[in-house]
């Protein structure tokens, strides 16, 4: 069986059986088990927010297993952690990404991911699959780890631990498998919903916010600003010449690379969007005129710093930039209009410069 392929049988810490890997409650299941599954399923499917789905899954399974700590992490097809939520003694805590990667490569979670079946560790001191990391690894004496399957792929790994050995039993593992089956559906739905939202708000070529989404985010920054905010408008100089001389595909390469440089140079907290054609916009919350000019100059310099590599060779690209703060502005449109006017002043003054 290859990594990430659906298992043909279930493997535990010391026993092997031919039961299905993702069971639902059997017809003769105790009423309490059925009620638990119904309650958990209702909670997991009541939200399309991925973090909330993961949080519900972890909170409820930790409570069911009376675990000391628990972790649920999304994984990609190669087993690389994408997202994680962890709790210890009822409180959220941070798990180092490097530690999670180690666990997925050489610990119990990696063993579960590689085989696609759950595992129960009765005593971590006696089980070579248990990899000790930080204080949680030193205090955990028993563990259970369950894969979350959906459409023949593992989406997540759930791990519960306890400070006492021999804490978890086989009945809990079966219940966790049933919960994981429902969680897989909820996680997939949340991921699909998130992707639809991303596609609706993101420019496909540049991966920046599209114009509508940029304006919505910038409006929030303007309306609820605790301090002054500013806007930057920029336009690629002589962009039409790239399309005319090299074709629109090369023009797309230029647009995508300029967008990448602008996003990186704008810094954290900046809202960056493709405003239209070869024009980009940046909204800066908590930024006055001097700070905005500094960001604008950093963006201009980042674009001009190196040629853009294309199939037609290295192309020198520059941008003209206009900056405006919100002094005297009644609406966001006032700020953007001023920045746009100054952008055209920059073009008239010779391009490759900042005005504002």
The reply to whether 2 falls in a domain is no
Same structural domain for residues 193 and 69?
yes
Same structural domain for residues 281 and 344?
yes
Q: Is 340 helix (H, G, I), strand (E, B) or coil?
A: helix
Q: What is the CATH number of the domain that holds 68?
A: 3.30.450.40
> pLDDT at position 328, please?
87
- Supply the residues annotated as catalytic: 278
Distance (Å, whole) CA 66 – CA 96: 24
Per the prediction, the chain carries an average pLDDT of 87
The reply to whether 158 falls in a domain is yes
User: What is the per-residue pLDDT across 245-287, written as a single tens digit (0 to 9) for each?
Assistant: 999 999 999 999 999 999 999 998 899 999 999 999 999 988 8
Same structural domain for residues 188 and 215?
no
Whether the Cβ atoms of residue 323 and residue 356 lie closer than 8 Å to each other: yes
Last residue of a domain, one of 199, 221, 250: 199
Domain holding 155, by residue range, is 10-199
What's the CA angle centered on 176, arms 172 and 53, to 5 degrees? 145
Same structural domain for residues 274 and 330?
yes
Same structural domain for residues 172 and 103?
yes
Same structural domain for residues 77 and 162?
yes
Q: Is 175 helix (H, G, I), strand (E, B) or coil?
A: helix
Same structural domain for residues 163 and 228?
no
Angle, nearest 10°, between helix axes 50-65 and 170-201?
170
Rounded to the nearest 5 percent, the helix, strand and coil shares of the chain are 45, 20, 35
pLDDT at 96 over 90: no
The reply to whether 205 falls in a domain is no
Same structural domain for residues 237 and 313?
yes
Q: What count of other Cβ atoms lies within 10 Å of the Cβ of residue 337?
A: 15
The reply to whether 317 falls in a domain is yes
Over residues 170-196, mean pLDDT: 92
Same structural domain for residues 96 and 165?
yes
The reply to whether 262 falls in a domain is yes
Over residues 48-76, mean pLDDT: 91
DSSP string, 273-339: EEEETTEEEEEETT--HHHHHHHHHHHHHHHHSSPEEETTEEE---EEEEEEE-TT-SSHHHHHHHH
The reply to whether 266 falls in a domain is yes
pLDDT at 183 over 50: yes
Last residue of a domain, one of 160, 178, 199: 199
The reply to whether 319 falls in a domain is yes
Same structural domain for residues 170 and 285?
no
> pLDDT at position 101, please?
81
The reply to whether 276 falls in a domain is yes
The residue whose two tokens read 């709790």 is: 87
Q: What is the CATH number of the domain that holds 317?
A: 3.30.70.270
Among the ranges given (4-18, 211-225, 230-244), the one the predictor scored with the smallest mean pLDDT:
4-18
User: What is the per-residue pLDDT across 336-351, written as a single tens digit (0 to 9) for each?
Assistant: 999 999 999 999 999 9
Angle, nearest 10°, between helix axes 239-246 and 248-266?
140
Same structural domain for residues 235 and 114?
no
How many domains in the chain?
2
Residue 102 pLDDT level (bands cut at 50, 70, 90): confident
Among the ranges given (127-136, 218-227, 294-303), the one the predictor scored with the smallest mean pLDDT:
127-136
Which one is predicted more confidently, 62 or 19? Answer: 62
The predicted model scores a pTM of 0.64
Q: Which residues on adjacent β-strands are paired with residue 230?
A: 284, 325
Over residues 40-50, mean pLDDT: 88
Same structural domain for residues 109 and 67?
yes
Whether the Cβ atoms of residue 25 and residue 178 lie closer than 8 Å to each other: yes
**Number of helices followed by number of strands (H, E) in the chain:** 11, 15
**DSSP single-letter state for residue 133:** -
């Amino acid at each position: 069986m290859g990594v990430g392929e659906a298992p043909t049988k279930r493997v535990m810490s010391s026993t092997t059986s031919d039961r299905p890997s993702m069971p639902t409650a059997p017809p003769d299941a105790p009423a309490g088990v059925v009620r638990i599954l119904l309650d958990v399923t209702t909670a997991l499917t009541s939200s399309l927010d991925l973090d909330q789905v993961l949080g519900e899954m972890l909170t409820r399974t930790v409570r069911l297993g009376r675990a000391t700590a628990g972790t649920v992490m999304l994984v990609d097809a190669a087993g690389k952690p994408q997202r994680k939520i962890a709790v210890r003694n009822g409180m959220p805590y941070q798990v180092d990404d490097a530690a999670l990667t180690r666990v997925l490569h050489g610990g119990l979670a990696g063993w579960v991911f590689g085989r696609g079946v759950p595992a129960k560790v009765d005593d971590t001191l006696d089980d070579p699959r248990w990899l000790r990391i930080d204080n949680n690894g030193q205090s955990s004496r028993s563990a259970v780890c369950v894969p979350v399957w959906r459409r023949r792929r593992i989406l997540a790994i759930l791990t519960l631990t306890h400070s006492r050995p021999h804490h978890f039993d086989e009945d809990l593992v079966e219940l966790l498998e049933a919960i994981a089956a429902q969680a897989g559906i909820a996680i997939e739905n949340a991921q699909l919903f998130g992707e639809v939202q991303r596609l609706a708000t993101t420019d496909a070529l540049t991966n920046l916010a599209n114009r509508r989404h940029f304006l919505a985010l910038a409006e929030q920054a303007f309306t609820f600003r605790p301090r002054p905010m500013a806007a930057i408008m920029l336009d690629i100089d002589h962009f039409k010449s790239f399309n005319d001389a090299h074709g629109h595909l090369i023009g797309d390469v230029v647009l995508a690379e300029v967008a990448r440089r602008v996003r990186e140079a704008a810094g954290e907290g900046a809202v960056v969007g493709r405003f239209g054609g070869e024009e980009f916009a940046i909204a800066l919350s908590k930024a006055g005129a001097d700070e905005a000019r500094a960001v604008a100059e950093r963006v201009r310099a980042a674009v001009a710093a190196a040629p853009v590599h294309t199939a037609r060779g290295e192309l020198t690209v520059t941008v003209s930039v206009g900056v405006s703060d919100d002094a005297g502005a009644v609406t966001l449109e006032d700020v953007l209009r001023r920045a746009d006017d100054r952008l055209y002043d920059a073009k008239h003054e010779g391009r490759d410069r900042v005005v504002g």
